[in-house]
Chain A
Amino acid sequence: MLTAILIMALGAIVLGSALGYASIKFKVEGNPLVEKIEAILPQTQCGQCGYPGCKPYAEAIAEGEAEINLCPPGGQEGVRKLADLLGREVKPLDAEEKPKQVAIIDEQTCIGCTLCIQACPVDAIVGAAKQMHTIVGALCTGCELCLPPCPVECISMARITENIDSWKWKYPVIEIKQLKRVA
């Protein structure tokens, strides 16, 4: 009996110290998973997930602190990809899925206060103090962060309409969807 306890204790000590030593010796900074998660996120930096940007959200997911369904711009497709990567269950998006949009400044109303320029996380607004501002449509991610700071409410969101270059061929199969049963 005593031998058994001794041997197991010995084993535990040896393995424990080996692991402890290794954890110090082979310490690695950073988490490669964060980069993979971030690659899936749409980089709108909108903060709708409750984190200040896409990278913090990716870190939170990697740590297991955040749900994967908090990113409205990524949509259900993004949730599916994250679930795929992390082996988690696909959950319905925690918000309404919105169509893609861009912000537009009503240039007549703009007073040139630069507040929206400071709010834009992706430098998509050009303008200077007391000068009219405008949004570079191709750079706008549609994050809506410029809406609240505008003192004259001259910024509105417009849906991106399909044009010939962005048009996509449709899936050739008409999918059968189960209709909700009327109670």
Chain B
Amino acid sequence: MNRIVSLFQNFNKHTDGAGLLNVYFTAGFPELDDTTRILQALQDGGADLVEIGMPYSDPVADGETIQQSNDRALENGMSVRILFDQLKNMRGMVSVPVLLMGYINPVLQYGIEAFCAKCAEVGVDGLILPDMPMDVYLDEYKSIFDAHGLLNIFLVTPQTSEARIRQIDEVSEGFIYTVSSASVTGSKSGVSGDMEAYFEKLDAMNLRNPRLIGFGIKDHDTFVKASSHAAGAIIGSAFIRVLQQSTDLENDVKAFVREVKNSSEAIPA
């Protein structure tokens, strides 16, 4: 069974904590060869899923923090080929579900078929490609994703209509990425009253898929609050800022994850 699917199936909020934590980081940042060190430290710190960003020159859905990490990773020489090479022994190291997040053009240039085959080979479980249209996915790519056991994660936002949410739920597997507010990544923080109404609306829809809430989640409090409305939450920009400032990568990563998941057990970095 796909690691993402089994993670959500086996998760019990009453015994396993506030929610599942998915942490995003940009491959090849801060330094080209940091990718697997960060991945390992995230698992050791207690991250439940990891989302590895494939850097892109024009990441329109991302805010300044993640764009800067993308630019830096590209300057470091990061590419899809190098990423697969870095991840080739990944499943000897970590068991946590791994998603690749990125924009569709680098994937198209690698070749969809070759890309999916490589994902399966290194043990990637799912993809988040925000600028891939649903109809193109269903018509052209879904059969390839399926053949390689890859889940495609769709996004919903506060502006997504109820009919479209139903449609997304229908074609989704694993989880639905719930964007907390009308924004790019990292631009707002916290969970407002408007957001709560939107989360409650989603709750009341009784969707088949669990949800993870992303955008604006930055610490223990926002993680717990978001998790009360979903299966868990996603942290991206706040973690990139930790990486930017870190002087001891492994320990800083582990400390950050522990602090987000359970502030009382925080270990000072």
Answer yes or no: are A and B bound together in one complex.
no
